[in-house]
Amino acid sequence: MVLFVASVLAVPVSAFDANTTFAKGTYVISAEGSYGAQFNLEDFRDQSDVRFWNVGLRLSILPFGAAGPGLEPFYQRYLHPDPAFWAGLIAVVRYHFLSLGRFVPYVEVGGGAGGTDLNVREINSDFSFVLWGGVGASVFLTDTTAVYAGYRYEHNSNANIAAPNRGLESRVAVFGVSYYVR
C-alpha cells in the first residue's frame, strides 16, 4: 500500500517546461473547493459570523500564455448562522508566475452574479454579487496536472438593489486540481 501511495504522489524527474504547459491556446479545466468565514473589516458592533464552503468547476483558456480568463459555475453553501446558498456564474482571470519550475504562484480576481436565499443582517435579497481577489500556488505533478492551494478575500453584496446591503467580507482557503489541455 505504501508503495502504491508513493508512486501516485511521486513527481516525475523529467524537466518541466512551463512555457509549453502555459502556451497560448491551452485550455485549463479545474475543480476546486474552499472554506470561508466572515470577518469584521469595518469593525461593526455586531455581525452574523457567516461560515460557508463552496465548489466550482472552472473552464479556462490561456489566450496570452500565463494569463487567462475562465468561467466557473459556482455554488456556495452557508453553514452558519442558518443553512442557505448562493449559486451563479463567476468570471475569473488568473495570472501565473512561471519562473519557479513546477511551483507556479498565481494571482486572481473573480466576480459574478447569482441567486441566494441568505438572510442575515448584512444582506437579504434573492440576488447578489460575489467578488474576490486572491493569491495561491500550483504544484505540477505532471506536465499537464497540477494541484493548487490559495487564499481569497471575498465580498458578497447586492449592490444596493435591496435593503439591507451592508455586505459580507470573508477570508477563504481554496484547494483544487487543474488539467492543462492543448
What CATH number is attached to the domain comprising 128? 2.40.160.20
Determine, yes or no, domain membership for 44.
Answer: yes
Determine, yes or no, domain membership for 49.
Answer: yes
Total tally of structural domains belonging to the chain: 1
Handedness of CA 75, 151, 8, 5 (dihedral sign): negative
- Measured over all CA atoms, what is the biggest interatomic distance in the chain, rounded to whole angstroms? 58
Q: Is 154's pLDDT higher than 60?
A: yes
Determine, yes or no, domain membership for 165.
Answer: yes
Q: Find out whether the peptide bond into 164 is cis, omega within 30 degrees of 0.
A: yes
Q: Does residue 148 or residue 10 have the better pLDDT?
A: 148
Q: Is 8's pLDDT higher than 50?
A: no
The alpha-carbon radius of gyration of the chain (Å, integer) is: 18
Determine, yes or no, domain membership for 13.
Answer: no
Q: Which of 91, 90, 89, 88 is nearest to 116 (CA)?
A: 88
Rounded-to-integer distance, Cα 157 and Cα 96, Å: 28
Q: What is the mean pLDDT of residues 98-121?
A: 94
Domain membership of residue 168 as a residue range? 33-181
- Number of neighbours of residue 2 by Cβ within 10 angstroms: 6
Check residue 169 and give its pLDDT: 93
Handedness of CA 157, 159, 165, 167 (dihedral sign): positive
Using the structure block, give the residue that is written with the C-alpha cell 487564499. 151
Predicted TM-score (pTM) of the model is 0.85
Determine, yes or no, domain membership for 24.
Answer: no
Question: Tell me: the pLDDT tens digits for 49-71?
Answer: 999 999 999 899 888 889 888 88
Determine, yes or no, domain membership for 121.
Answer: yes
Cell numbers given for 21: 504547459
Determine, yes or no, domain membership for 16.
Answer: no
Determine, yes or no, domain membership for 143.
Answer: yes
Check residue 1 and give its pLDDT: 59
DSSP 8-state class, residue 64: T
